[in-house]
Structure 1
Amino acid sequence: MTWLFNMCKFFWNKYFYKLIFSKRNLAFISVIGLILSTLPLIIIGFYNHPSADDFNYTILTGAALRNNSGIFAVFAVIGAAIERATSYWSVWQGTYAMSFIAALRPSLFSEQLTFLHSVILIGILILSIFYLFYVLLYRILGYDKYIYIILASVTAILSIQYLPNAVEGFFWYTGGVGYTFFLYLAFILLGKSLLAFHTKNLSVKNCIALCILSFCVAGGHFAITLLGFVFTIILFIEALLNKNLVMSFKIKYTVNTIIYLIGFGLCVGAPGNLRRQESFNEKQTVIATIVKAYLHGLGYAKLYTNTVVLMGIIFIGIIAFLGSKKVIYHFKYPVIFTLITFSMYAVLLMPGFYSTNGIPAPRYLDIIYFGAILFFSTNIIYYGGWLRNKLNELESNSQFSEFITSLKPLALNIVIFLFIMYGVNHLTTLEITLSTGVRAIKSIVSGEAADFDAQMDAREELYHDDTIKEVYLSPLTVYPELIYFDDITDDKENYANYKIAEYYDKDFIVIQ
């Protein structure tokens, strides 16, 4: 059997390790893979157009922009966005930060800027993953910078390519801002907070940044504001009990916590929430909500684990294992880590089950999916480090050291072989074509996206014609699944019809 060990060791050292698993090369390949897989989504974003609540949330800001000019327009638009947020806080829901940002969509200033909707929503996803992994893996755990880049890139690819409702998560601005945008912002807040605790330093500048982020996150979707509340309180308790933190740090983080609690109170206690809740009649008890969140969390995690996602998570685990060789952290409590991270993931489901006994909107599934991917990714990284430490302990034992050293090349080759064979046997064409990147390419190449864009451009010409007050439109002939969300109807009293008419100052808009 010696010849088999030697052959595996030869191929591992000469080909796999030096060429394929060179950390620098693999990091480069991972980033290129992320860019290439995301590029079709950016391109199809140029064919995108605002729809539905994009107009409702910008009625006031649109009027302010039309009725003012120069520097006065800037102040008028911001004032109108604040007015929109406060009015919605009073009559519909407490998500004040979401309402404010939704009222400032880029296409408000020109429909030609609609491509920025997807750039912003995809961009903050990538930024949040890279920043959180930078803090957790590179700064706190001490992973090599190339390893952290690989793991962040693969996690971002999985998060983007199989988002359940990409049209609502990336292309419909109001829906994306209301849900996915603030979740990514919450993870940036978490990363910035953890970095402050790791360095035991919280400057005035960073404290102000944390307070601004906290106030914004607290005013997002209820699932996200609850998640932020949980980790902010946990860190606040840590700040109070940690004797290694100076008093100035404790005071500054206390200020940040108070800011979050104020925002949380404004969001949850808004008068509009009571009115909105009247449209739902399936409110649950707290105990039932928690139980259902955990049970359904398992179900959604299983639902989203297709072959591509599973292979991506396994790949992350392999790289984490290989990259943890020089990591000092001991990864002693994998089960506790899993329980804590799964609980944080389950928190995302709780507001939905509490208020409606379910998931009230398809875009809600996007934040559940992102939470599941992050749960899988962080856990496989933790268990990879834990396994590496166990093997290191065996290697330190003279009785097993020689055996473990000789077994490594064979074991790694077997793992790689099984990984490839699993993909060959289970990866289907359907799973590949279901990725958002492939769907975007198909829509672009077929001309469907361009046809949709041309028809919407023709409509917008009529919208901007001040001589036409009663607008009759032809129905769309194409409905690209990634960039088509909603349309007006032949009923001028329909919600979408009269909101778009109000935005463009028309008497009515209908399909004829």
Structure 2
Amino acid sequence: MSDRLLSSVLRPLAARTLAAVRRLERVRSERVLAVALVALLAAALVPMVAISAYDHSYADDWHYSVNVHLALAAGGGAASALSAAVAEVIDAFFTWQGTYSAIFLMALQPGVFSEELYGAGAVGIMATLIAATAYAASVLVRDVLGAGRAVWVSVTAGVLLLETQLMPSPVEGIWWYNSAIYYTFYHALLLVMMGLAVRMLRGGSRRGAYTPGGTAVRAVALAALAAVVAGGNFVTALVAALALAGAWLCAALGPQGATRRHLLIVPALVAFALGFTASVAAPGNAARQATQFAGDGLGVLSTLLRSGFAAGEYLVLWTNGLLVLMLALVLPPLVRAAARSSLSFRLPGAGIVAAFALFAASFTPTFFSMGTVGPGRVQNIRYDLFVTLVVICATWVGGWWVRRREAAAAPPGAHTAPAAAPSSDVSHACAPAPRCALTVALLVVLAFGVGALALDERHADDLVAVSAARSLASGEAAAYDAQIRDRIALIEESDAAEVEVPFITTAPKVLFMGDIRDNMANYINFRLAQWYGKDSIIGYHAAL
């Protein structure tokens, strides 16, 4: 009898002690991972921010903002600058493209106030991408999965490391303002829009349910954001249209359809539809297609086929060792959070198919209009979308796997609906004891991999932060900056209406987008000359 009594006391105590140890180990592992990834992200951002001080405007920066610059140079204030920006939107709408909100932001690039401020645009793009990713990750990780702060921080830092360091074209993604504001910035807006839509459909955030007034304010904010995104690049706009409509449809047909929360995002859908229709129907689009891409576009069927094949191609190309390592680091805590959540994670195959279709859809605008995947700036946001979808799908599959194990471990005939806490079998399966040691080991492998890439001359520029750091350390960035400043001084100090300037001979990978030409038969030289009030500015080879 005493043995039974002792056993009845000791077994629960031992179980509670073991559970407490496991929770402590889980928390410690998650914190170690969060601290390590944030430290790595911060170290990567330091040279990226530092090199922005040497950034300079080029080509389309002058093209879309020259009238704003001239209005300010003539002594006009904020009103004249905004008026010139609106005039640029109207002119582009009828002559070049209908992306109204993007053109407005292009016209207000920092260089219109001073070339010294141009690099602030790159810093602003980085800050926007970081904030938007953190917000979207908070909705997914903390609101939907119910995970803690450390997991949220780890996922945010991990995604940002992949997106910022493996960017297909870093100069177009961050440092060339005209491109970065048109693509990377709008990708960030897409993340915020979808995060806000998810919270609206859930009726609140982890802090609690929204009040009627709070709901109304957020509905208006979502509609305004949708109108802005609709006036941006067509790739992001199409992805946003499909994602927003898909979220509305799932909410309307799902178990929570009776709550009618899906009606809250109808104003955003209407605002988006109106804005996107206006952008696509702009007369300037036809003019641009006829002059720049005449005969290049594909038909509907060819576009769909090529988009699907391209999606498969880049799924393979972008699934590299760093992506796998990052998934190995952030997926275990995400799966543990999924195990503790009440979500069912049903039909992971349907989620993967939908994600692939959404990824493939991002290729259709460029194939339809240009017949190709498009330039590096378009690939940047496709890569960002790819990383986001991979993390979501991997979490979904992990959650489905957890639920399968729970169902297998349940007694025959028992109710197998998701529980608030996982069974001990699932806990063992997705959270083995040496979590912290495994996390540290993976971080060491990641550090060695990054270090090897940085030391290998063949791949030293593959990582954006390493490329920026090398340009700073070698003096390449400073030399590029000095040549641009000398050119500006030569133009401003010359009284001649026609000026010749030497070509730029130093080209840091993350800063150099291109140079002017040796003739005036192009818009780049024309806009630069107009910017400085000259009749002609052409380049020449100083060494010849």
TM-score (norm 2): 0.83
Farther-moved stretch of structure 1 (379-388 vs 216-225) = 379-388
Whether 1:160 and 2:172 are equivalent positions in the alignment is no
The one of 187, 191, 206 equivalent to 1:187 is 191
| Match in the other structure for 1:132 | 136
| Match in the other structure for 2:68 | 61
* Mapped partners of 1:133, 1:41: distance in 2: 23
Q: What one-letter code is carried by the residue in structure 1 that aligns with 2:72?
A: L
Farther-moved stretch of structure 1 (385-394 vs 82-91) = 385-394
**Change over 3 Å in CA distance of 1:416–1:392 after alignment to 2:** farther
**Change over 3 Å in CA distance of 1:266–1:342 after alignment to 2:** same
The one of 474, 477, 481 equivalent to 2:502 is 474
Question: How far 1:16 sits from its partner (Å)?
Answer: 12
Farther-moved stretch of structure 1 (301-310 vs 429-438) = 429-438
8 Å Cα contact 1:62-1:503 kept in structure 2: yes
Question: How far 1:145 sits from its partner (Å)?
Answer: 2.1
Give 3-state SS (helix, strand or coil) of 1:486's partner: coil
| Match in the other structure for 1:74 | 78
| Match in the other structure for 2:231 | 219
The one of 329, 332, 356 equivalent to 2:346 is 332
Give 3-state SS (helix, strand or coil) of 1:254's partner: helix
CA deviations over 1:365-398 (Å, ceiling 9, x no partner): 1111111111212112222223333344455559
CA deviations over 1:433-480 (Å, ceiling 9, x no partner): 510000000000000000111111111223334734322212222111
The one of 501, 507, 510 equivalent to 2:535 is 507
5+ residue gaps in structure 1?
1-12
* Mapped partners of 1:182, 1:284: distance in 2: 25
| Match in the other structure for 1:8 | none
8 Å Cα contact 1:142-1:328 kept in structure 2: no
**Change over 3 Å in CA distance of 1:239–1:32 after alignment to 2:** same
Alignment of 1:111-510 (within 5 A): 111-199=115-203, 203-237=215-249, 243-246=257-260, 250=263, 252-278=264-290, 279-280=292-293, 281-396=295-410, 409=432, 428-429=452-453, 430=456, 433-465=461-493, 467-510=495-538
| Match in the other structure for 1:5 | none
Question: How far 1:240 sits from its partner (Å)?
Answer: 5.7
Whether 1:42 and 2:49 are equivalent positions in the alignment is yes
8 Å Cα contact 1:463-1:504 kept in structure 2: yes
Farther-moved stretch of structure 1 (434-443 vs 413-422) = 413-422
* Mapped partners of 1:116, 1:171: distance in 2: 9
Give 3-state SS (helix, strand or coil) of 1:358's partner: coil
**Change over 3 Å in CA distance of 1:415–1:334 after alignment to 2:** farther
Question: How far 1:123 sits from its partner (Å)?
Answer: 1.6
* Mapped partners of 2:424, 2:273: distance in 1: 57
8 Å Cα contact 2:66-2:112 kept in structure 1: no
Give 3-state SS (helix, strand or coil) of 1:455's partner: helix
8 Å Cα contact 1:239-1:253 kept in structure 2: no
**Change over 3 Å in CA distance of 1:142–1:336 after alignment to 2:** same
Question: How far 1:508 sits from its partner (Å)?
Answer: 0.9
* Mapped partners of 2:129, 2:501: distance in 1: 36
Alignment of 1:79-118 (within 5 A): 79-118=83-122
* Mapped partners of 1:462, 1:209: distance in 2: 47
CA deviations over 1:287-343 (Å, ceiling 9, x no partner): 322222122111112112222222112322223224434222221221111111222
**Change over 3 Å in CA distance of 1:510–1:139 after alignment to 2:** same
**Change over 3 Å in CA distance of 1:111–1:231 after alignment to 2:** same
| Match in the other structure for 1:27 | 34
8 Å Cα contact 1:68-1:76 kept in structure 2: no
Question: How far 1:402 sits from its partner (Å)?
Answer: 8.0
| Match in the other structure for 1:4 | none
What is the percentage of aligned positions where both structures have the same residue? 25
8 Å Cα contact 2:63-2:523 kept in structure 1: no
* Mapped partners of 1:357, 1:109: distance in 2: 38
* Mapped partners of 1:264, 1:150: distance in 2: 35
Question: How far 1:256 sits from its partner (Å)?
Answer: 2.3
TM-score (norm 1): 0.88
5+ residue gaps in structure 2?
1-19, 205-209, 413-422
8 Å Cα contact 1:128-1:185 kept in structure 2: yes
* Mapped partners of 1:218, 1:448: distance in 2: 39
Give 3-state SS (helix, strand or coil) of 2:258's partner: coil
Q: What one-letter code is carried by the residue in structure 2 that aligns with 1:118?
A: A
* Mapped partners of 1:40, 1:310: distance in 2: 25
**Change over 3 Å in CA distance of 1:415–1:286 after alignment to 2:** farther
Farther-moved stretch of structure 1 (476-485 vs 441-450) = 476-485
Root mean square deviation, CA, Å? 3.0
* Mapped partners of 2:304, 2:297: distance in 1: 13
Question: How far 1:20 sits from its partner (Å)?
Answer: 9.1
Q: What one-letter code is carried by the residue in structure 1 that aligns with 2:477?
A: A
8 Å Cα contact 1:107-1:114 kept in structure 2: yes
Q: What one-letter code is carried by the residue in structure 1 that aligns with 2:246?
A: I
* Mapped partners of 1:41, 1:420: distance in 2: 22
**Change over 3 Å in CA distance of 1:17–1:293 after alignment to 2:** farther
Question: How far 1:413 sits from its partner (Å)?
Answer: 9.2
